[in-house]
Structure 1
Amino acid sequence: MTEKHSLVLIPGLLCTGDLWRDQIEALDDIADITVADHTRDHTMPAIARRLLSEAPERFALAGLSMGGYIALEVMRQAPERVTHLAIMDSRAVADSPEDRQRRLDFIKLVEQGSAFKGVTRSLLPMLIHESHLNDEELITRIFKMAEDIGKEAFLRQERALLDRDVLTDMLRTISCPTLILAGADDKLIPPKLQRAMAVEIPTAQYVEIPNCGHLPTMEEPELTSKYMRHWLARS
């Protein structure tokens, strides 16, 4: 019997382990899976250090959005411990000035407001493909994740994202089997940025999922799990 992979999954901003619910179930036969805690620290290096302190000695690593930024920071700190790397709907480049201002505005809004929603219906078209906007089960799960993360953890996450280092220079040093997976219609992080990242990583396979926005693990779970299975089979 083939030995199982140790697989660490990192959620995105305002996301819990439910982001990976379907992959955890679909890959159970080939991987022992844990979900990293990205809610307790104020900086990317500290989040990565906590992940490394709690992870197996050698492990496969997958991160979506903010989780992808954290995965790259893990690769900077301890590349020898990562057997496989998957980055989904994320990037190594800095935020655009518009993205940075949006984060600052969001922090200000949350600090001033009494009620924390995290994700509202008005934000959904930025997160998921238009074909999923009537999927009430999916939308309820997205709202619930944000609610579970809560205000204080969200503020820590946003500050960590604002202060993160640009890690483009280290992409060429990544040597483990790597998957770059993008929703073809991601409005938050356009696929062209993700393709550009894949080009810089010598071992990267780039995959784009059609009719999919920023959350492929939830929007197109079966296809995402299939690509992850293929990725883990690489050596």
Structure 2
Amino acid sequence: MKQEDYLKRNNKIPLLLLPGTLCNEKLWEHQMSYLADIASITVGDLTQNNTIEGMASNVLDKAPERFALAGLSLGGMVAIEIMRQAPERVMRLALLDTNPRSPTDVQIETWLKFIQISKEGNFTSVTKDYLMPGLIRRANQDTSLVQKVINMAEEVGADAMERQMTALMYRPDAFEVLPTISCFVSVMVGEEDSVCPVAMSNEIVHQIPNSELTVIKNAGHLSSLDNPLEVSRKLKVWLLKN
């Protein structure tokens, strides 16, 4: 069914958004407002499970029967797992700032370090002192955006962080799934993303037959916050593409 026909019949496209590690619905605030005229939007909860498979299953249990799906970073990894578990339910897919590779030993050591820092009572330090330089592009580091990211992390909390980082350590192989995806896929990445750089998104596009890459200028890893208007515009194009 063409998107225009879907809109005429159903008024709005069901859209499921999945946030990244230590993020919640505030990661998508601009997009939720900008797309509200064409999309019925829900934000999945990725805080309750300690495996990517469990997160995907939990999201699917609460999701509409069929939906468009967009995920950023951890959310992108869960979105790929949803494509493994229930591809027939996804109308189209958007992967933002997503790492398709297996975790490295250095990454696992870093996540274990963050969990230990949190257990020692310094949870806020993980985002503020360690993660922040990689989340927001340098030009935005002195803005209220930094505090917004810290506030999100506080709302998600230490226990959920431990579950999320455990899930990242043992995540399944995305490269098994990518070539099997048949729906249209928009792959987006912040031009200044140092956590999941452009090369990783290129790898995804090369593996998915019906996909295209968009590099978001003036954006780092949390591209939906760093350059929200551009991400919102690209998502609208993606949602309406036939």
Shorter-normalised TM range? over 0.9
Find the partner of 1:10 among 18, 22, 30: 18
Deviations 1:3-38 (A, max 9, x none): 311000000000010000000000000000000011
Q: Give the C-alpha shift of residue 133 in structure 1.
A: 1.1
Once the 2 structures are TM-superposed, how far is the Cα of residue 121 of structure 1 from its aligned partner?
Answer: 4.3
Pick closer, same or farther for the CA change 1:53–1:205 going to 2, 3 Å: same
Moved runs in structure 1, 4+ residues, more than 6 A?
A: none
CA deviation vs aligned residue, 1:121-178 (integer Å, no higher than 9, x gap) = 453221111111121x211110100000011111011111111111202211111111
For this pair of structures, how many residues does the alignment match? 233
After superposition, give the CA deviation of every residue in 1:36-89 in whole Å (9 maximum; x if it has no partner).
011111111111111001000000010000000000010000000000101100
Matched, 1:85 2:111: no
1:76 equivalent in structure 2 = 84
Over the matched positions of the two proteins, sequence identity in percent amounts to 37
Which of 186, 190, 196 aligns to 1:179? It is: 186
Instruction: State which of 123, 148, 155 in structure 2 corresponds to 1:116.
Output: 123
Give the RMSD, CA atoms, in angstroms.
Answer: 1.2
Structure 2 unaligned blocks of 5 or more: 1-6
Assess if the C-alpha contact under 8 Å between 2:19 and 2:25 holds in 1. Answer: yes
Aligned twin of 1:49 = 57
**Are 2:194 and 2:220, in contact at CA under 8 Å, matched by a contact in 1?**
yes
The answer on 1:19 being equivalent to 2:18 is no
For 2:164, the equivalent position in structure 1 comes to 157
Alignment counterpart, residue 201 of structure 1, candidates 197, 208, 214:
208
Return 5+ residue gaps in structure 1 as ranges: none
Given that 2:117 and 2:123 are in contact with CA atoms closer than 8 Å, whether structure 1 keeps it comes out as: no
1-structure distance, mates of 2:123, 2:141: 22
- Residue 98 of structure 1 aligns with which residue? 106
1:69 aligned partner, one-letter code: M
1:108 deviates by 2.1
Deviation at 1:106, TM superposition (A): 1.4
TM-score (norm 1): 0.96
Which runs of structure 2 are paired with 1:122-133 in the superposition (5 Å)?
122-133=130-141
Determine if the alignment matches structure 1 residue 191 to structure 2 residue 198: yes
3-state SS of 2:29 partner: helix
Equivalent position of 2:44 in the other structure: 36
Q: 1:5 and 1:47 mapped to 2: Cα distance?
A: 23
**Counterpart of 2:146 in 1: which secondary structure?**
helix
TM-score (normalised: structure 2): 0.93
Shift of 1:109: 2.0
Separation in 1 of the partners of 2:228 and 2:174? Answer: 28
